[in-house]
Each structure stands twice: as C-alpha cells, then as structure tokens.
A = this chain, B = another copy of it.
Amino acid sequence: MFTPLFRRERLIRFSDCDPAGIVFYPQYFVMFNGLVEDWVSEGLGVGYAALVIDRRIGLPTVRLEADFTAVSRMGDTVALELAVERLGTRSLTLALRCVGIEGDVRMRMRQVIVLTSLENHRAIAIPEDLRRAIARAQER
C-alpha cells in the first residue's frame, strides 16, 4: 500500500510532451523535482530555496528506480504523490508516484537523495530542522 505524505495535482502541458504526444520521460523527473521542492517548503515548512541558496545545501539524487506503466498525454491532470521510505543519517529514500485522476498509476519511482554541501558536493548529515520535520510528518 502506498500512503502519500504529500500530494499535488498538475496539468500535463504541451511543453512536457514529445513528438509521440506523450510525456517525454525525463520530464517526470523534472515534475518530481518540483514536488520535492513543494514538499520541503510547504509540507515540511523548511524553505527549499533558502536551503539551496542561503544554507548552500544540495539534495542530489544518488540512485533511482522507475517504472513507467502507462502514458500521460497533454491535457491530462495527474497527481504526483510522495512518501518517505527511509530516513537515514545523510540520505532519504522517497517513493513517488504519478497517477491519473482515476487512480491509474502512470509512473512510480524510488529515489535516494543525499544531502550535500554545495561547497564540495560531499555528503553531510541531514540538517536537524529538516530531519525533525520529516520525522513529525511520518508520525502523523
């Protein structure tokens, strides 16, 4: 069972689609990047832009596995959903899904994100405010 911690609806746009008329698959990762941004800022209350710009902390992806099970077309409204699978010391494993309005899964992925210093791109411990906010969100 997939119980999302955070969810956003989004319209599939002309600019998301390829000459086959469906979402160009790298664009799913751009959409999920936006979802993580919104989750951190709005869901967790830790400003994403401030994290990157002021605190110089990066959230690069170190591993992902993705399954594309159905196409999404221009004009579709999809829901992007996020759950936390594992909260490590320096890394975070997310489960993400893109589903159609009727709940049909279009794409699902598991993504391991590492927190890094943007000075040297080395892994750092997840900042305390972010860790606490994630732990609290998981308890609910």
Contacts and interface: CB of A to CB of B under 8 A. Distances in A.
Interface string A14-29: 1101111110111101
A47 B73 CA distance: 14
A65 B20 CA distance: 23
Contacts of A137: none
Interface residues of A, number: 43
Interface string A31-46: 0011001100000000
A11 to B, nearest CB: 8
B19 A14 contact: yes
Given A15-B34, A19-B53, A25-B29, 14 more contacts: A13-B33, A13-B34, A14-B37, A14-B49, A17-B19, A20-B118, A26-B26, A26-B27, A53-B74, A53-B75, A60-B71, A62-B69, A63-B68, A65-B66
15 contacts: A13-B34, A15-B33, A19-B19, A19-B21, A21-B118, A22-B60, A25-B29, A26-B27, A26-B30, A49-B73, A53-B73, A53-B75, A60-B71, A62-B69, A64-B65
Interface of A: 11, 13-15, 17-22, 24-27, 29-30, 33-34, 37-38, 47-50, 52-53, 58, 60-69, 71, 73-75, 118, 121
